[in-house]
Amino acid sequence: MSAPAAASMPLDDAVPAPGALLSVRDLRTVFPTRRGIVQAVDGVDLDVMPGEALGVVGESGSGKSVTFLSVLGLIRPPGTVTAETLRFEGFDLMRLSATERRRLRGRAMALTMQDALSALNPAFTVGTQIMEGLLTHGIVANARAAREEAVALMGRVGIPSAAARVDEYPHQFSGGMRQRIMIAIALAARPRLLIADEPTTALDVTIRAQVLDLIDDLRQSEGMALVLITHDLGVVAERTERLAVMYAGQIVETGPTAAVLAAPRHPYTRGLLASLPRLDAPDSPIQAIPGQVPDLTRLPPGCRFRERCPLAVAACAEPVLLAPVGPDRAARCIRTEALAS
């Protein structure tokens, strides 16, 4: 998938990239808590082109899931979402009514969650849960057609003897099969954008590749765009074209996946890569990033990574913008030069 170079560049200008399926500018999501206001997402800019696969990586609490729950309109009060731009297929999501946004959810943009066991309702059969979306969005005319389509969808995601298992409950399926059912539910309405939140984290290694292949196949056949939220850089390297690295509510680096992973321009990305076990040098020690993610209620001014960063200098305490660092790439770091050398 070849996205226009300029279009996939998240920049500070508020003009949505031409032709983008999803355009986000200055997205901010905050949650008031007893300890103070949590800035879960703090000024995220990104574009997703039709049919593109974007990887979003970062550790727990980096805001990657919250960013896309905000896009879906699933942040519950007292959490609040603001954005300069939040466009999807020409719709200004911030101006749509709750009902209008609901009509887009599940139909045009769909979500799969990390743990299918907790995402599927234990009290209803999988068939019921697949049929529901079909009927809500008027994709099928009646319950009988919905049932047939549910069986067909289960077959398409690779569940053997789907017709016999459509009336079973989620707990009667294995972990991999449940993940497939969740994908079947998400894909029921043939959405243009699938947001897959940690689709393989809860799965056995052997099942992971199967589930990712399935998502890939469906993406190719439906021309669907994919946002793959994960902390697994291996998965991102294999399955995505573009990458956004998030840290403490901000995007710290973005660009073509291969280029970013080959030569990271942000110390955090480099730290993530260094903390992977290496196949080519199995004896080399795994390097953990020292320190902890800053408290999201008390974010320091300036670079949020500076306290864990080996390259930090005094100037890092000043606010740092996401700036271009090469063709189609951007990083939120003033020490990019030092990193490159």
Partner 1 sequence: MSYSRIAERFLQLVPVLFGVSVIVFLMITLTPGDPVEIMLADQRATEEQIAALRRDMGLDKPLAERFFHFLVNAVQGDFGLSFFHRRPVIDVIAERLPATIELTLASMLVAIMVAIPLGVMAAVRRDTWLDRACTVGGLFGVSMPGFWFGILLILLFAVELRLLPVGGRLGYDYEVARITGMVLIDSLLAGRLDSFRNALAHIALPALTLGLPSAALLMRVTRASMVEVLAADYITFAEAKGLSRLRVLARHALKNALIPTVTVAAIETGALLGGNMIVETVFGWPGLGRLVVESIFARNYPLVQAAVLLYALTYVLLNFVADILYTTLNPRVRL
Choose among 228, 317, 240, 304: nearest CA to 266: 304
* 48 beta partners: 22
Residue 110 touches partner 1, criterion: CB under 8 A: yes
Residue 106 touches partner 1, criterion: CB under 8 A: yes
Closest separation between CB of residue 212 and partner 1, Å? Answer: 20
- Rounded to 5 degrees, what are φ and ψ at 84? -70, -45
State which residue, 111 or 215, has the beta carbon closest to partner 1. Answer: 111
Stretch of 34-42, 180-188, 241-249, 278-286 contacting partner 1, by CB under 8 A? 180-188
The region, left, alpha or beta by phi > 0 then psi within -120 to 50, assigned to residue 27 is beta
Closest separation between CB of residue 216 and partner 1, Å? Answer: 21
Closest separation between CB of residue 200 and partner 1, Å? Answer: 16
**Residue 319 DSSP one-character state:** -
- Near partner 1 in 118-137, by CB under 8 A: 118-124, 132-133, 136-137
State which residue, 24 or 104, has the beta carbon closest to partner 1. Answer: 104
Stretch of 181-189, 225-233, 290-298, 328-336 contacting partner 1, by CB under 8 A? 181-189
* 195 beta partners: 111, 227
Closest separation between CB of residue 108 and partner 1, Å? Answer: 9
SS3 state at 275? coil
Closest separation between CB of residue 112 and partner 1, Å? Answer: 8
Choose among 245, 238, 265: nearest CA to 327: 265
Choose among 241, 311, 254: nearest CA to 64: 254
Q: Rounded distance, CA 71 to CA 216, Å?
A: 22
From the list 24, 93, 111, 309, which residue makes contact with partner 1 (rule: CB under 8 A)? 111
Closest separation between CB of residue 113 and partner 1, Å? Answer: 6
Closest separation between CB of residue 133 and partner 1, Å? Answer: 4
Closest separation between CB of residue 57 and partner 1, Å? Answer: 21
State which residue, 128 or 297, has the beta carbon closest to partner 1. Answer: 128
- Rounded to 5 degrees, what are φ and ψ at 168? -90, 160
Spatial CB neighbours of 142, under 8 Å, sequence gap ≥ 6: none
Per DSSP (E only), the strands in the chain are: 22-33, 36-48, 53-57, 80-82, 85-88, 91-92, 109-112, 193-197, 225-230, 242-247, 250-256, 323-326, 329-331
Residue 182 touches partner 1, criterion: CB under 8 A: yes
Q: In the structure encoding, which two tokens stand for residue 169, read together?
A: 């409950």
Q: Rounded distance, CA 249 to CA 219, Å?
A: 28
From the list 57, 113, 150, 203, which residue makes contact with partner 1 (rule: CB under 8 A)? 113
From the list 28, 103, 156, 231, which residue makes contact with partner 1 (rule: CB under 8 A)? 103
Which string of b and e fits 187-204 if b means at least 16 CB within 10 Å? bbbebbbbbbbbbbebbe
Closest separation between CB of residue 114 and partner 1, Å? Answer: 8
State which residue, 17 or 185, has the beta carbon closest to partner 1. Answer: 185
From the list 27, 72, 153, 181, which residue makes contact with partner 1 (rule: CB under 8 A)? 72
State which residue, 135 or 274, has the beta carbon closest to partner 1. Answer: 135
State which residue, 122 or 282, has the beta carbon closest to partner 1. Answer: 122
- Near partner 1 in 154-173, by CB under 8 A: 169, 171
Choose among 3, 72, 108, 25: nearest CA to 229: 72
Residues of this chain that interact with partner 1 (CB under 8 A) are: 69, 72, 74, 102-107, 110-111, 113, 115, 118-124, 132-133, 136-137, 169, 171, 182, 185-186, 189
